[in-house]
Amino acid sequence: MAEIYIGEEDYRSFEDKTFGDYLEQRYPELYAKALAVKFASEKKDLSARIPGPGKIEVLTFETEEGREIFWHSSAHILAQAIKRLYPDAKFDDGPALKHGPGHFFYDIYLEHKISEDDFPRIEEEIAKIVKEDLPLKRRTMSRQEALAYFQQKGEIFKVDILKRLSDNTEISLYRQGEFEDLCRGPHIPSTGKAGVFKLTAVSGAYWKGDAANPMLQRVYGVSFPTQEELEKYLAKLEEARKRDHRKLGQELKLFLFVEEGPGFPFYLPRGTVLFNTLCEYIREECVKRGYVEIRTPIMLSQDLWVRSGHYENYREHMYFSEVEKKGFAIKPMNCPGSILVYQSELRSYRDLPLRQAELGLVHRHELSGVLHGLFRVRSFTQDDAHIYCTYEQLEGEIEKAISFTKEVYERFGFKNILVYLATRPEKSMGSEEAWQKATQALIKALAKTGTAYQVKEGEGAFYGPKIEFNIEDALERHWQCGTIQVDFNLPERFALEYIGPDGKKHQPVMIHRAILGSLERFMAILLEHYNGKLPLWLSPVQVKILTISQEQLVYAQEVLQELRKAEIRCELDDSNEKISYKIRQWNAEKINYAVIIGRKEAAEKLISVRSRGHQETETMPLEQFLEKLRAEIAQKNCVN
């Protein structure tokens, strides 16, 4: 991200000029790539006037925020093209995306059912709009004026958005040619900057995720400044389709989803082994670092969630029930249960820091339109931890949590980790002083651990700021997994105490920490990262024994028992199929090793071993193979 400082003298020369004017005259090469700018931490259009001296951050396609603006503008161009082709189309929302089947989508209400057959025609219209190089012009009006304007246009979904805003909200609209859309912005300066497009998918999505509402059509697309970048991305997208964890989950018999439980995963035996292996690993690592493990109930009194603030700030994502005329809620988070465990006995400063780990099953009401395999589910397990410490211990505990998180990701083969600091959101609780103290503690710990980070303004949890960890997979996609959150608010709301060395009562600080995050989501990331070819220590089935004929069955069963006795996860294929077929099946199941037993191996009490991805076999005694397996498992090697 290029940073430029406009001094007093420079500002006077460009008073009443725009950011675009300034860049065009002072930095023409940078202006050619500029999409928007940040000034005083606020993103602005190039057409916005310079308000005074200060630092300008130039947002190009090379920056994350620049790409987000590029793709959000692309969604507007998609909507304009559809409106030209289908004048009766009505529009709901069109955001940029970080993950999924596209970089952006637009939700559209239209009688004509859009299919992939319509994509070339829509793409042709998009190309015309790009060629027309239409400027994107911003204007503002009052909420009442905007309501009247969109009511007159018959845009019922925009009217609904406006009705949910307060009367004093300033409303901004963006126009490109004949098309005008409700939007906060900012946007690219003109449609000519939008480059090349490809529509990637279309799906149905109920308005607001409610089946009682109209069905909208969600059209996805991608866009890039150049054709070369688009083709490179499309190749990567094709590879991602091959690695889709939903496809792999079915082929490898790991998990399933059923109509009777939409968004609630069912683990099959092999998937359960993988899930438990992840749990066992994170448990072992927690024990090494002085954590104690707890388990708390899935359903707790509604009063508890009112007291914690979840009812006020999070209830649209919660499930509720009634037992003996008393309200209960299924937990969407583990923290209130952890707090009740902390309160179960009197705590001393000698007990702190108290690190409570919990592999807690939580349930959240996600809209049906956003459910996506294991990436977005309605029930999932978090590798949660809640650390209670004194204020003096706070920075040290955050530092340890940062180091712990990095070590875990490196163990799984993720070396490129992006870190963000997410600050106080608009919907939050607690004093500004508490938020500042919490934020500063995170900043100091990041500095002490030498962790580079970017800031996400207003994206913290409602009870405290947080550090977010994003891991990069084999396809260079980034996935947000771990978080470290500092919380002064819940200890205050629950009046948490410990007895200090002065004999007086003090309030502890609470750190919320997850590393894998959702185990379901992390499992999906692993499957796609490794294309189902999991490292030996993670594989649900590590060895498959293949017999050439039924004559070797007795010896094969002896080998099976010896492997199981050594705690190697193995299966025996004793079917009557030809060995060539059995080997193809073993390859398709992506199992690490095949043990092939024929007449010679049975006679000499040996085994022939083939490694995944290799054609050659090596004959050896079983004990030699076991030593090899033990060493590889102990290393927990995760080279992709």
Which residues are annotated as catalytic?
335, 364, 382, 384, 386, 466, 512
The residue whose two tokens read 């060995």 is 579
Amino acid identity for residue 150 in this structure? F
CB 510 within 8 A of CB 496: yes
Closest to 638 in 3D by CA, of 246, 248, 281, 270? 281
Cis preceding linkage at 540, omega within 30: no
Joined tokens for residue 420: 């963000």
Residue 465, SS3 per DSSP: coil
Q: Give the chain's length.
A: 640
518 has which bridge partners?
382
User: Reading across the β-sheet that carries 179-182, which strands appear in turn?
Assistant: 137-141, 171-176, 179-182
Which of 180, 185, 171, 183 shows the shortest CA–CA distance to 142?
Answer: 171
Tokens of 347: 């705590």
Q: String of b and e for 114-144 (b: at least 16 CB within 10 Å)?
A: beeebbeebbebbeebbeeebebbbeeeebe
Q: Which amino acid is at 182?
A: L
H/E element, 250: helix 245-251
Nearest to 277 by CA among 411, 416, 473, 374: 411
HSE (side-chain half, CA atoms, 13 Å) at 177: 20
What's the first-to-final CA gap in the chain, in angstroms?
31
| CA–CA gap between residue 114 and residue 65 (Å, rounded) | 30
* DSSP conformational letter for 131: H
DSSP letter for each residue of 260-292: TSTT--EE-HHHHHHHHHHHHHHHHHHHHTT-E
Which among 167, 196, 483 has a CA at the least distance from the CA of 333? 483
Using CA atoms, how far apart are residues 362 and 401, in angstroms rounded to an integer? 22
Cα distance between residue 499 and residue 354, in whole Å: 14
Nearest to 242 by CA among 631, 590, 618, 522: 590
3-state secondary structure at position 625: helix
Task: Pull the structure tokens for residue 131.
Answer: 């060629």
Token output for 575: 């079917």
